[in-house]
């Protein structure tokens, strides 16, 4: 788990989704990489309420260089890091996630993020509105045993390609970084779900159990917000 998390923030292959060639991304996963809104709410609906958050660790540290740059912090500024696993049906790990919050945010407007315990971060982040978002994606090549350290399979050294997304949310004018790595169990699960149902869940997870629309639904993402400068432009204008 920790190795997979380290790949998330050490990777240098992050790029906006619209700069990644479509054939490179599994067709079933691409809409999930681009979908806006609360991923935890979407996964909860997809799993019919069996979704759970398992907290791996929470700690204070100095931000790694890449994360500090995204959050517009110096290397000396401290951050709060929360690493979790998002569990779907039968307790399978669907997503591994890492959230990074500047300490000054945590002790000011972000006081609600303190003491989340097993509650998902999205329950606070998306409570009132959809924050402006900078979204990037990356593909990571791991060994199978890095994905599942308990596996005794002879295939444990075979490579596994995992796709992740990282999002900087401008929440009450404060940047919050959320990085999510989609695991093989999630891909196996969505292979058996109708595409139209998945689209409805991403768009409106709360009403996803109602009759599906007759029109084709597509996930919403503002490609302009893949630009770092546009995300922070409102803040720069106030200076």
C-alpha torsion sign, points 103, 109, 114, 116? negative
User: Which residue in 175, 119, 133, 129 sits closest to 35, CA to CA?
Assistant: 133
Query: Using one digit for the tens of pLDDT, what is the confidence trace for 136-161?
Result: 998 887 655 555 544 444 444 455 78
Residue 224's φ and ψ, nearest 5 degrees, are -60, -30
The Cα–Cα gap between 183 and 131 comes to: 26
Are the C-beta atoms of residues 156 and 144 closer than 8 Å to each other?
yes
pLDDT less than 50: residues of the chain? 149-157, 209-225
For residue 206, the model assigns a pLDDT of 56
For residue 167, the model assigns a pLDDT of 93
Specify the pTM.
0.79
For residue 192, the model assigns a pLDDT of 81
Are the C-beta atoms of residues 201 and 208 closer than 8 Å to each other?
yes
For residue 1, the model assigns a pLDDT of 53
Sketch out the chain's domains with CATH numbers: 2-232 (3.40.1410.10)
Q: HSE on the CB side for 72, CA within 13 Å?
A: 16
């Amino acid at each position: 788990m920790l190795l997979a998390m380290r790949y998330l923030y050490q990777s240098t292959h992050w790029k906006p989704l619209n700069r990644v060639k479509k054939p490179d991304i599994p067709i079933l996963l691409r809409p999930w990489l681009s979908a806006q809104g609360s991923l935890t709410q979407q996964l909860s609906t997809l799993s019919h309420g069996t979704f759970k958050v398992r907290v791996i660790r929470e700690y204070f540290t100095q931000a790694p260089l890449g994360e500090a740059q995204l959050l517009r912090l110096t290397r000396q500024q401290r951050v709060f890091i929360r690493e979790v696993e998002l569990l779907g049906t039968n307790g399978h790990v669907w997503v591994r996630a890492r959230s990074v919050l500047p300490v000054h945010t945590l002790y000011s407007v972000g006081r609600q993020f303190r003491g989340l315990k097993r509650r998902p971060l999205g329950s606070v982040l998306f409570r009132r509105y959809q924050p402006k978002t900078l979204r990037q994606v990356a593909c990571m090549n791991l060994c199978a045993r890095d994905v599942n350290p308990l596996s005794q399979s002879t295939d444990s050294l075979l490579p596994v390609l995992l796709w992740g997304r990282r999002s900087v949310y401008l929440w009450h004018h404060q940047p919050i970084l959320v990085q999510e790595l989609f695991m093989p169990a999630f891909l196996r699960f969505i292979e058996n779900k109708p595409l139209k149902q998945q689209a409805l869940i991403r768009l409106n997870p709360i009403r996803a159990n109602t009759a599906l629309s007759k029109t084709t639904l597509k996930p919403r993402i503002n490609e302009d917000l893949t630009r770092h400068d546009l995300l922070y432009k409102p803040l720069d204008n106030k200076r």
